[in-house]
Amino acid sequence: MRTVTFLIIYLVVLPIWAQKKLTPEEYIAKYKDDAIKEMYLHKVPACITLAQGMLESGNGNSELCRKANNHFGIKCHKEWGGDTYIMDDDSANECFRKYNSALDSYSDHSMFLYSRSRYASLFELPITDYKGWCYGLKKAGYATDPKYPTRLIDLIERYKLNEIDVLEDSPLKPLTPKVNLKSDMKLREVYRFNHIRFVIAGKDDSYFKIASDFDVELDDLLEYNDLTKNDKIHYGQKIFIEKKRRRALEPYHVVQKNENLKSISQLHGIRLSSLCRKNHLKPSDTLKVGDVLYLRQRKNKPN
pLDDT grade for 64, boundaries at 50, 70 and 90: very high
Rounded Cα distance, 78 and 84, in Å: 12
| Beta-bridge mates of residue 252 | 294
Q: Could you tell me the CA-to-CA distances from 298 to 106, 289, 294 in Å, in that order?
A: 27, 20, 7
- Domain interval for residue 259: 252-294
Is the per-residue pLDDT at 152 higher than 90? yes
Domain boundary among 130, 165, 200: 165
State residue 166's pLDDT score. Answer: 56
Most confident of 117-121, 221-225, 226-230: 221-225
Phi, psi of 239 (to 5 degrees): -125, 115
Specify if 240 maps to a domain: no
Q: Of 68, 144, 147, nearest to 108 (Cα)?
A: 68
H-run or E-run covering 33: helix 24-42
State residue 111's pLDDT score. Answer: 85
Is the per-residue pLDDT at 278 higher than 90? yes
Specify if 46 maps to a domain: yes
Residue pLDDT, tens place only, 237-246: 889 999 999 9
Rounded Cα distance, 188 and 177, in Å: 6
Rounded Cα distance, 84 and 135, in Å: 30
Domain boundary among 120, 141, 165: 165
Full-model pTM: 0.63
Whether residues 153 and 257 share a domain: the answer is: no
pLDDT grade for 181, boundaries at 50, 70 and 90: very low
Could you count the other beta carbons within 10 Å of the beta carbon of residue 18? Answer: 7
Specify if 10 maps to a domain: no
Whether residues 154 and 257 share a domain: the answer is: no
Query: Contact at 8 Å (CB) between 31 and 102?
Result: yes
* Rg of the chain in Å (alpha carbons): 21
Is the per-residue pLDDT at 12 higher than 70? no
Specify if 223 maps to a domain: no
Specify if 140 maps to a domain: yes
Could you give the number of structural domains in the chain?
Answer: 2
| Domain CATH number, residue 89 | 1.10.530.10
Domain boundary among 165, 194, 210: 165
252-254 and 292-294 strand pairing? antiparallel
State residue 165's pLDDT score. Answer: 61
Q: Could you tell me the CA-to-CA distances from 217 to 44, 182, 210, 220 in Å, in that order?
A: 33, 17, 10, 5
Specify if 115 maps to a domain: yes
Task: Decide: residue 279, CB within 10 A, 0-12 exposed, 13-18 middle, 19+ buried.
Answer: buried
pLDDT grade for 10, boundaries at 50, 70 and 90: very low
Q: What angle do CA 222, 212, 264 make, to 5 degrees?
A: 30
Could you count the other beta carbons within 10 Å of the beta carbon of residue 13? Answer: 10
Specify if 258 maps to a domain: yes
The whole-number average pLDDT for the span 128-153 is: 93
Specify if 134 maps to a domain: yes
Residue pLDDT, tens place only, 96-134: 999 988 888 998 898 888 878 889 889 888 888 999 999
Whether residues 130 and 30 share a domain: the answer is: yes
The whole-number average pLDDT for the span 287-296 is: 89
Whether residues 42 and 159 share a domain: the answer is: yes
Rounded Cα distance, 155 and 53, in Å: 11
Higher pLDDT, 256 or 245: 245
| Domain CATH number, residue 279 | 3.10.350.10
Whether residues 152 and 286 share a domain: the answer is: no
Whether residues 143 and 39 share a domain: the answer is: yes
252-254 and 94-97 strand pairing? unpaired
Q: What letter does residue 75 receive in the DSSP assignment? A: B
The whole-number average pLDDT for the span 56-84 is: 90
State residue 39's pLDDT score. Answer: 83
Whether residues 126 and 30 share a domain: the answer is: yes
% residues pLDDT > 70 (the chain): 85
Residue pLDDT, tens place only, 77-96: 776 778 999 998 878 889 99
The whole-number average pLDDT for the span 294-299 is: 88
Rounded Cα distance, 80 and 74, in Å: 10
